[in-house]
Amino acid sequence: MKKLQKGGKSPSSRYFRILIECAHELGRLRPLWLLLLFLAAACGGRSDDLPPSDEPVAAPDVIIPLPVADTPTGQIFTLTEDANIYISPEIQALREIGEYLVDRLRPATGYEIGVFPRPEDDLPIGSICLALNDEYTSLGEEGYELTLTREQITLSSSTLEGVFRGIQTLRQVFPPSIEESTVQPGPWEVVTRTVRDFPRFEWRGAMLDVARHFFRVEEVKRVIDLLAYYKINRLHMHLTDDQGWRLMIHSWPNLASHGGSTEVGGGPGGYYSQADYTELVAYAESRYMTLIPEFDMPGHTNAALASYAELNEDGIAPPLYTGTAVGFSALAVNKEISYVFVDDVIREIASLTPGSYIHIGGDEAFGLSDPEYREFIVRIDEIVQSHGKQMIGWDEIAEADVTSPSTVQYWLHAAHAQTAARKGLKIIMSPATRAYLDMKYNWCTPLGQIWAGFTNVEDAYTWDPAKQVSGVEEHSILGVEAPLWTETIQTLEDIEFMLLPRLAGYAEIGWSPESERGWDEYRIRLGSHGPRWDAMNVNYYRSQRIPWAFEESAPVVF
């Protein structure tokens, strides 16, 4: 079984591994897995006795994304009931980050941890200090240094973003049960170390399609929290498509009330009020994440066309659409009302969105001629910029006469990405064959699509954005993003299943030095996160490619 987990290179071993994964999905190997886990527990159990504090202790490799530098110092820090968090300087934004950390630590420990200004004299033993310090400007906007000694923990950065990113690392070096929502026995011990860290790419994102199936505000917040745990800093929300329009636009209210009234399969759909959207923007900002709204145009517009007849070339509104075919709809790009419509939509969303970007889609507009499409994209770019924002579009927009600061999101067409690079446009790398979270893991996983092939956990991890497309080098790449389209995704549990474990790999691709990444080592670290997701009550996919760890008290779930 160990050889299967590592994965053979021959076709026969590959096919045999697929059969094992399929059998596991169907429950046929349950007795075998129970036996193996029983033997592992009986033969490989670990003692609860802790090593003496003056003896060197090996630091487990558990951090994802992999830090730039992680230097273990071989001792133990223990979080006790007397622990508090101290901040320097005493400013509200840093206090809020401290309270965020309290909210992560208090449920499982049961400790009444508080947040206080850093004292002028020495820090109390067992404390955690969060510090803003200009000494760390060389680490950039999101870099940090985390120092754990026997006496205390110090997390320093020149920015609030850096402190927040470092907190995610700190959470991961505690035992997995720190993520439980009820009091656990502890002890809360971590191996001492110094972590000095900063990201490779500025843009590390995930996309959630709420148009094909609608997801409530609290469900999106859950997704934001999972993304933040892996230092993701962009949430791209696909708010409109043929099957639904998901944000109230007051100047065109039927978009939401009518266009948002259904979804794939004919369900009730739904939409966000502008207050809902503002709440999501603020929640993402509290996790130092930028929300990127997308309004797909000129194609993928049936929900809008069904809501307003005048947006159609023939002036006749089509019926609402609940299927999954693409490319059949298009705005009436030769009618001026379409540009009034777009200007109103962009104006309203720009006023609600503090981030710099608005995504305009621009993909699969098969109903338009090339000249019509290119002229439309140029006019939309002008509209977006007139409202103080920068345009992002799927890679087809590279064929239009757009220039920087517009950004191209590569998903399918290498030639478009190459064109964008030649024009000096920045590129977000989202190759469908590697980064699309809606692709099935294998034949036997119940959710997802297969048009771009299968994307197992190894395939999702073992690629490099700067080597994906010939002629697109690292200086042209803004970052990476993993889109989750939801034609087959209906519940929060479905989202979690498709996100994890692949999301962790995408986060590491975006953050960690490429030269330090390797599948054989990564899969061990990834396996250590299984108990963390169990503690978080996450419905993740237990890939047989990963040697999952289990806490001794955790039930085995197949």
Which positions are catalytic?
A: 364
Distance CA 438, CA 541 (A): 13
Q: How many CB atoms lie within 10 A of CB 388?
A: 10
Residue 496 exposed, middle or buried by CB count within 10 Å (0-12, 13-18, 19+): buried
**Are 529 and 504 in contact, with CB atoms under 8 Å apart?**
yes
**Are 210 and 239 in contact, with CB atoms under 8 Å apart?**
yes
Cα–Cα distances (Å) from 227 to 108, 230, 502, 521, 523, in that order, read 21, 6, 12, 22, 19
Cα–Cα distances (Å) from 516 to 411, 417, 510, 547, in that order, read 26, 26, 13, 21
- Identify the bridge partners of residue 390 per DSSP, sorted by sequence position: 357
Cα–Cα distances (Å) from 267 to 15, 309, 493, in that order, read 38, 23, 18
Kindly state the tokens that stand for 528.
């250590």
**Are 377 and 406 in contact, with CB atoms under 8 Å apart?**
no
Q: At what angle do helices 274-286 and 336-352 cross, to 10 degrees?
A: 50
Q: H helices of 110-229, where?
A: 160-173, 217-229
Residues 131, 132, 133, CA angle at the centre, nearest 5°? 110
How many Å separate Cα 154 from the centre of its chain?
27
Distance CA 528, CA 223 (A): 21
Using DSSP's 3-state secondary structure scheme, residue 220 falls into: helix
Contacts 24+ apart (CB under 8 A), 13-17: 17/544, 17/545
Question: What is the amino acid identity at position 381?
Answer: D
How many Å separate Cα 103 from the centre of its chain?
21
Residue 263 exposed, middle or buried by CB count within 10 Å (0-12, 13-18, 19+): buried
Please name which of 331, 328, 329 lies closest in space to residue 339, comparing C-alpha atoms: 331
Please name which of 368, 378, 399, 245 lies closest in space to residue 308, comparing C-alpha atoms: 245
**Are 408 and 428 in contact, with CB atoms under 8 Å apart?**
yes
Distance CA 14, CA 443 (A): 13
Kindly state the tokens that stand for 70.
């992680």
